[in-house]
Structure 1
Amino acid sequence: MTEHDHAVVTAPGALPLIGHAGTFQRDPARFLASLSRHGDLVRIKMGPMRVLVVCHPALLDEMLVRDKIFDRTGPLFQRARDVVGNGVATCPHAEHRRQRRLVQPAFHKTRMPGYAAIASRQIAEHTAAWRAGQPMDVIAELNRLTCAVVARTLFSTEMDAGELARVVTDIQTVLDGLTRSAMTPPRLEHLPIVGIRGFLAARDRLRQGTLRLVSDYRRAGGDRGDLLSMLLMAGDAADGRLSDEEVCDQVLTFTMAGTETLANTMAWALHRLSRHPEVERRLHEEVDAVLDGRVATFDDLDRLEYTGQVIAETLRLHSPAFLFLRRVSTDAELGGAPVATGDTVLWSPHTIHYRPDLFPDPERFDPDRWAGDMRKTLPRGAYVPFGGGPRKCVGEYFALTEGTMALASIVARWRLRPTTDRPVRGVFRATLRPHALHLIPEPRARSSVRNQLGA
C-alpha cells in the first residue's frame, strides 16, 4: 500500500447472527459517529449483510464523485422508488444527468425571492397560532409548517386546512414506514402486517392526488410562478420534456425531502437553543436588531449571519438526511482498498461530522465554529449535510433559505422552553428525528440590546 491507501478494519462488538444491528438500533447516531475511531474504512455487519462504512472525508468525496461506480441501487432505494418514483434523488446514475438538467431551473436563485415570500406568509400564519404556555409536539407542528410551505411553493392551488392535515399525516406515515418496508420482502407486503398496510395506503393516496394535480396543470398550461409550472415547462431538444409520471416523481421527491428533513432540522435547532441560553441570547440580539418583531424575508438573509451559523451547526450535529447506501456497480478501489461488484457501501454525515480532527470537541454545540472563513478551511467531504458530488441535493439553497427565515422568525416572537430535563435522543425512520420532543412556547419581548445590524 502507498501512504495514501486506507486499510479496511472491522468494527468490534458484533454479536452472533445480528452483528452490529442491535447497537445501531439502540442509538444509530452515536454508533455511526463512533466508527471513525476505528479507521477510515470500517466493515460492519447488519444481520447477514456486510457493509463497508466510509469514515474519512477524502474517501467520502472520492466515492460521491464516482457515482457511476457507487450507484444508488439496492433495497432501500428500490423501496424509496416505490414511494416517490424514479425522481432526481432516487434514480440510478444512468438517468440522473438528464433529470438534474430538467429540474435545476426550478431551483435557480432567481426564483428564490418568490418562494421566500410564500414561506414568510406561511411562517407568520402558523407561528401566530401557537398557544403560549401550552406544551407543543414540535415535530408535528413543524411538519405542518414545512408541508404548507412546500405545498404552496410547489402548487399555487390552495389547500384547505383539512386537506393539508391529510397530506402531512400521509407523508409522516410513508416516512415512518419506508425503512420498515425496505426490510419487508415484496411477497409479504400485502399481508395484514402492522404498519405496512397503512404505509401502502398513504403512498397510494399521495401518488394519485399528485398525478391528478399534474394532469390539471398540464391541461391549463402557463406559468403560475410555482415549482410545478417550472417542471412542466422544463426541457429542450436534447433532453425532451418530463412526462406526467416523471413530474409526479419529482413533486413527490421534493414534497418528502422539503417537509421532513427541514422540520427535523428546525426541531433540533429549537431543542439546542432551549438548552444553550448563551447561544439563544445572541440569536435574540441578532433577530431583534434585524427583524424588529416582524417575520423574516428574503432581503434579511445577508444580515442573519449568526442565525445561519446556528443552522450550520445544527446540520453538523443532526443531519436529518442521515444514512445512505450505495451499491458497487463494478470491481474498483476506494482509497486503495478493493471493492467488488455488488458490495454495499454506507455513508453518513455522522461518521464525518463527529471527527475531532475536523471539528474539535465534536459533540459540543458551537455555532461560532462557522464564523468567518471556516467553511473554506475544511477539506472536501468534511461537511456534507446535503451530500456531495453530482448527486448533491438540488434543493440546498431553498432549504437553507427557508430554514434561516423560519428559525429567525420563530425566535423573534417566541422562546421555547423544555418540558423535561431528560436527554432527547434521535430515532431513525427515513430521517433522524428527535424522539418525543415537546417544548413550551412563551412570548418574548424584544431585547433592549441593539447592535449595528439593525441600524
Structure 2
Amino acid sequence: MAQTLAGPLAPGSLPLVGHALRLARRPEAFLTSLPAQGDLVRVRLGMIDTYVVCAPEVMHRVLSDTEVFEKGGPIYDKAREGAGNGIITCHNTEHPQQRKVVWPAFRRALLPGQAAIMTEQIDRSTASWHDGQTLDLIPHTSEISAAVSAKVFFPSLPDHEITELTHAFDTFLVGLFRRMTWPSALQEKLPTPGNRRYRDARDHLRRTVSRLVHDPHAADEQTGLLATILAARDTLDPPPTDEEIQGQIFNLLIAGIDTTASTLAWALYLVATHPDIQQRLHTEIDTVLDGRPPRFDDLAHLPLTERILTETLRLYPSAWMFTRSTVTPTELAGIPLAPGTHLVCSPYLIHRRPDLYPDPDRFDPDRWLTHPTTDLPKGAYIPFGAGVRTCIGRFFGITEATLALLTITSRWHLTPATTTPVRPRPRATMSAHTMPIRLHNRQTAT
C-alpha cells in the first residue's frame, strides 16, 4: 500500500498518474508553481506520494545530510536500472569507494592536457560549419560533447563509433527520463516503438562500453580516462571488478555527454538571442585570444565568459531534477518524515525563485557582478548539487563548455533562426526540442 504523507497535496493531481502528466508536459511551469504552496510540497507521481523541496535552506540540508537523506527514490531507482550502478547512481554507503575508483581521472592537474584534446575535438566537430548556415544546436552540441567525451575516455575510438554513441545516448536518455517519471505500468511492459528504441539503444551502449572495458589494450592508452581508472584499480582494496568499472564508465559518459551538451546549447542560444551580450563577448574574446584557439590558461582571464556560463547554469541547470529518500525518521520544514519518504530536488525550481534572483527568468550575466554565488544562502545555487556528492566532473564539464563557447563565438556571429520561443524539453537533462540558429562569419557579419 502506498505511504500516506502529511501536508497538503499540490493542486492538479489526476487519477492514476497524479502529477506525472503535468511534470512530463511542462516541467518548468509545474515546478516553479510549487514554492507558493510551501517549503516542502507533496506531489503524486503515479501512485507514489513524494515531496518537492522548494526552499534553499531545506535543499542544503537534504543534499548535505547523507546519513538521513539517501540518493534514491523512484527517479534514481529507475535510473540505476537503466544506467547501472556507478558514481552518479550509487547509494551513499557505496559512494566513498566509488569516488576512489573515478577520482584519479578527474584530478585538476589533468585538466590542461584534457583541454588540449577538447579544443582539437571541438574544432573538428565544427569544421564543416559555414557562413549563412542554419543549424539546430541540440544535435550539434551533442556531437561536440560526445566527440570530446569519447576521445578523452577512449583515445583510439574511431569517429564512426563516436557518432553511433551519440545517437544511442540521445535515444537512451529520452527513454530513461520517461521511466523516471511515469508509472511502471506505462514503461517496459508496453511494446511501444519508444520502448523498443530505448531497449535497443541501452543494449548497444552496454555492449560498446563492455567491449572497451575488456579491451586488453585499454590500459595502454596513457592519455585516456578509462586507462587512468584501470591503472588506479590496483591501488584499491578491494579492487573494482570489470563490471563495476563498466557501470562507472556508463555513468560518466551519461554525465559527460548530455549535461555538457545541454549547457553549451543553452549558452549559445542565450548569446544568440541577446546581441548586446554577444557583442561584449566578442570583444572579450578578441582581446584575450587575439585570433588564436583558446587554451586552458585563458579561462582565468575571461570574466564575462565565465558569468555567461554561470547564468546559463542558473537558468537551465542540466541536472534539473533528482531525488532523495529518507533512511531514518526525521523532520524537514516542520513536517515529520518516516523512513522511505521520497523527496524531489530541483535546482531549476530553486534557481527561479524571485526572492533569490530578481527578475529570475531574465538572462543577466551581470547579476553576478553585484551578487556573486558566495553571497547567496546555502542551497540557492546548486547546478552541480552540494555536499560530498557534488558532481565529480564539474570542472571537466565547465572547461569543455567554456572552450566550445569560445571556439564557436570567436568565429561566428549567432542569430536566432526562428521567432518561436524555445521551450525546455522534459528528459534526463534540461534540453529543448530544437534550438535553430543561423551562423554569420564574423569577418562579414554586420
* Fold match by TM threshold 0.5: yes
Distance in 1 separating the partners of 2:17 and 2:286: 52
User: Within the alignment, does 1:303 sit opposite 2:301 as a pair?
Assistant: yes
- The match for 1:99 is 98
Q: Which amino acid aligns with 1:198?
A: R
Question: Is the contact between residue 232 and residue 242 of structure 1 (CA under 8 Å) also seen in structure 2?
Answer: no
- Aligned partner of 1:4 in structure 2 is none
User: Alpha carbons of 1:394 and 1:215: their partners in 2 closer, same or farther (altered >3 Å)?
Assistant: same
Higher mean alpha-carbon deviation, 46-55 vs 84-93, is at: 46-55
**Retained in 1: the 8 A contact 2:116–2:296?**
yes
Shift of 1:431: 1.4
Q: 2:3 matched to which residue of 1?
A: none
1:147 to 2:146 alignment: yes
| 2:434 is the counterpart of 1:436 | yes
> Whole-Å Cα distance in 2 between the matches of residues 238 and 176 of structure 1?
35
Give yes or no for contact 2:272–2:415 (8 Å, CA) kept in 1. yes
- Alignment partner of 1:334 is 2:339: no
Q: Distance in 2 between matches of 1:122 and 1:391?
A: 29
Of 358, 361, 368, which residue of structure 2 is paired with 1:360?
358
**Does the CA contact (< 8 Å) of 1:288 and 1:447 recur in 2?**
no
> What amino acid does structure 1 have at the position aligned with 2:373?
R
Q: Once the two structures are superposed, what CA deviation does each residue of 1:338-387 show, in whole Å capped at 9, x if it has no partner?
A: 11122110010022111122111111110012226712111211100101
Aligned partner of 2:381: which letter? Y
- The whole-number CA distance in structure 2 between the counterparts of 1:379 and 1:8 is 25
Is the Cα contact below 8 Å between 2:347 and 2:382 reproduced in 1?
Answer: yes
Tell me which of 172, 175, 179 is aligned to 1:174: 172
Structure 1 distance, partners of 2:310, 2:218, is: 41
Question: Residue in 1 aligned with 2:318?
Answer: 320
Q: Could you say which residue in structure 2 is the equivalent of 1:70?
A: 69
Q: Matched residues in 2 for 1:439 and 1:220: separation?
A: 39
Which digits, 9 at most, give the CA deviation of each residue in 1:137-160, with x for residues without a partner?
A: 211011011000000111121322
Find the aligned partners of 1:137 and 1:447 in 2 and give their Cα distance: 20
* Alignment of 1:207 onto 2:206: yes
Q: For residue 109 of structure 1, report the CA deviation from its aligned partner.
A: 0.5
Give the residue type in structure 2 aligned to 1:45: R
Q: CA deviation at 1:447?
A: 10
Give the alignment's Cα RMSD to 1 decimal. Answer: 2.3
Secondary structure, in 3 states, of the residue corresponding to 1:345?
A: strand
- Return 5+ residue gaps in structure 1 as ranges: 1-6, 449-455
Q: Secondary structure at the match of 1:241?
A: coil
Runs of 4+ in 1 over 6 A off after TM superposition: none
Relative to the length of structure 1, the TM-score reads: 0.91
Change (3 A) 1:181 1:19: closer
Which is further off, 25-34 or 305-314? Answer: 25-34
**1:49/1:226 Cα in 2 relative to 1: closer, same or farther (>3 Å)?**
same
Q: Deviations over 1:112-139 (max 9, x none)?
A: 0111000010111122211322221211
| Per-residue deviation, residues 167-217 of structure 1 (Å, max 9, x unmatched) | 111111100110223446489736532211221121111111111111114
Question: Cα offset for 1:82?
Answer: 2.8
Instruction: Tell me by how many angstroms 1:45 deviates.
Output: 2.5
Q: Is the 8 A contact 1:268 1:318 kept in 2?
A: yes
Change (3 A) 1:373 1:350: closer
Q: Does 1:224 align with 2:230?
A: no
**1:108 lines up with 2:100 in the alignment:** no
> Mapping of 1:54-453 within 5 angstroms?
54-160=53-159, 162-182=160-180, 183=182, 185=184, 189=188, 192-217=191-216, 221-222=219-220, 224-235=222-233, 239-371=237-369, 374-445=372-443
> Which amino acid letter does the alignment assign opposite residue 335 of structure 2?
A
Deviation at 1:38, TM superposition (A): 2.5
- CA gap of 1:94–1:285, structure 2 versus 1, over 3 A, is same
Aligned counterparts of 1:157 and 1:290: Cα–Cα separation in 2 = 33
Shift in Å, 1:274 = 1.6
**Distance (whole Å) between structure 2 residues aligned to residue 278 and residue 303 of structure 1:** 20
Code of the residue aligned with 2:215 in structure 1: it is D
8 A Cα contact 2:318 2:430, kept in partner? yes
Inter-partner Cα distance in structure 1 for 2:163 and 2:235:
40
Contact 1:65-1:388 at 8 Å conserved across structures: yes
One-letter code aligned to 1:126: S
Q: Which residue identity does 2:119 align to in structure 1?
A: S
* Offset of residue 238 of structure 1: 6.0
Distance in 1 (alpha carbons) for counterparts of 2:22 and 2:265: 25
Q: 1:355 to 1:373 in 2, by over 3 A?
A: closer
Where does structure 2 lack aligned partners over 5 or more consecutive residues?
Answer: 1-5
Cα distance, 1:172–1:187 mapped onto 2, change above 3 Å: closer
Q: How far did residue 163 of structure 1 move? A: 1.7
- The count of residues paired between Structure 1 and Structure 2 equals 440
Q: Is the 8 A contact 1:181 1:196 kept in 2?
A: no
Partner SS state of residue 152, structure 2: helix
**Residue 442 of structure 1 aligns to a residue in which SS?**
strand
Residues 218 and 226, structure 2, Cα contact 8 Å, conserved in 1: no
Name the aligned partner's letter for residue 101 of structure 1: K
Deviation string 1:219-266 (CA, Å, 9 cap, x unpaired) is 664461221111112246664322211111111111111111111111
Per the alignment, do residues 124 and 326 of structure 1 end up closer, same or farther by CA in structure 2, a change over 3 Å counting? Answer: same
The amino acid of 2:311's aligned partner reads E
Cα shift readout 1:297-316 (whole Å, capped 9, x = no counterpart): 10110111110100000000
Task: Tell me which moved more, 12-21 or 165-174.
Answer: 12-21
Counterpart AA for 2:292: R
TM-score by length of 2: 0.93
